[in-house]
Amino acid sequence: MKTALIGISNKIKEHKSKIKVWSESFRKYSDGEVILIAANSDDEDIRVCQELNITYHSVDVGDPWYINNKRLYYIAQFLKNSDIDVFLSTDVFDVLFQSNPFDKFDLENYDLFVSNEGIMLREEPWNTDVINKCFPGEIGHCINNEITCSGVIGGKREPLMHLFEKMHLMCEYAVNGHNVRDQAALIIMMAKGLVDKLKVFSIDDGWAMHCQSSGPTQFFESWGLKRNLESRYGVPKFIDGKVYTGDDKLFDIVHQFNRVPEWHQILIEEYE
């Protein structure tokens, strides 16, 4: 079975150090291919991909202000023509791996894999605001659900392709109230039961940790996020340079680690 990590980046040369952490931490634990959709790339950007031994696919995305939504289309197009069986699609600049992210995939029973953040939508104002601005009238379907992160999504090639195509259409036809709409689209689709054979990892499964909601960021206590996590799962821990669940499982993926300054440098130092 062929596996791959895929993401998108513009200004690749400028972000070389971040891309290196993403790709090399993945290779430390997985023999899957690393693929970067090279947005608006020039010769120097391509040279960086070659230097990092990353498979690149150049695309013109136009205005990068909407790259979060447009990435869905370009990744889906790549998947359509690929012979790789299983993909993990992630953000690039703020994702680091601590073990093999494919090990927890039950491919006999599920086609797609996502993870929750441990916080309810009603408890976190950013996602609520985006849904209200871009998808008016939809908040009632999902306000009492946990937030699911769109920055880390895995799955079999064809189901993942179809998911991204549907999410992209939702983003394209949304009200232009925010430039980042992909997570809102995913949350709404899940709430309406529009995603089949989907495995949703809980924060205490140890698959993916999303630091914006689940880590000690500037809003962790003032927004009540820490208190709510403690009551449900326990608060993730940082021990000897690694991130663990509240009950001491090592996370496979740490996302948004750069939002926790006291973790950031320690996590990336071996890849510098």
* Per-residue confidence band for 219, with pLDDT thresholds at 50, 70 and 90: confident
Token code pair at residue 249: 């499982």
pLDDT average, residue stretch 87-113? 98
pTM: predicted TM-score of the whole model, two decimal places: 0.97
List pLDDT tens digits, range 115-133: 999 999 999 999 999 999 9
| Residues contacting 139, CB < 8 A, separation 6+ | 121, 128, 131, 132
- Cα–Cα distance measured from residue 272 to residue 256, given in angstroms and rounded to the nearest whole number: 18
φ/ψ region of 234 (left if φ > 0, alpha if ψ in -120 to 50, else beta) reads left
List pLDDT tens digits, range 171-216: 999 999 999 999 999 999 999 999 999 999 999 999 999 999 999 9
The residue length of the chain stands at 272
Q: Distance between the two ends of the chain, CA-based, in angstroms?
A: 31
- Cα–Cα distance measured from residue 183 to residue 149, given in angstroms and rounded to the nearest whole number: 6
Q: What is the 3-state secondary structure (H, E, C) of the chain?
A: CCEEEEEEECCCCCCHHHHHHHHHHHHHHCCCEEEEEEECCCHHHHHHHHHCCCEEEEECCCCHHHHHHHHHHHHHHHHHCCCCCEEEEECCCCEEECCCCCCCCCCCCCCEEEEEEEEEHHHCHHHHHHHHHHCCCCHHHHCCCEEEEEEEEEEEHHHHHHHHHHHHHHHHCCCCCCCCCHHHHHHHHHHCCCCCCEEEECHHHCCEEEHHHHCCCCCCCCCCHHHHHHHHCCCCEEECCEEECCCCCECCEEECHHHCHHHHHHHHHHHC
Q: Which domain holds residue 24?
A: 3-271
Closest-CA residue to 255 (of 203, 197, 178): 203
Tally of domains in the chain: 1
* Per-residue confidence band for 222, with pLDDT thresholds at 50, 70 and 90: confident
Domain of residue 76, CATH code: 3.90.550.10
* Per-residue confidence band for 68, with pLDDT thresholds at 50, 70 and 90: confident
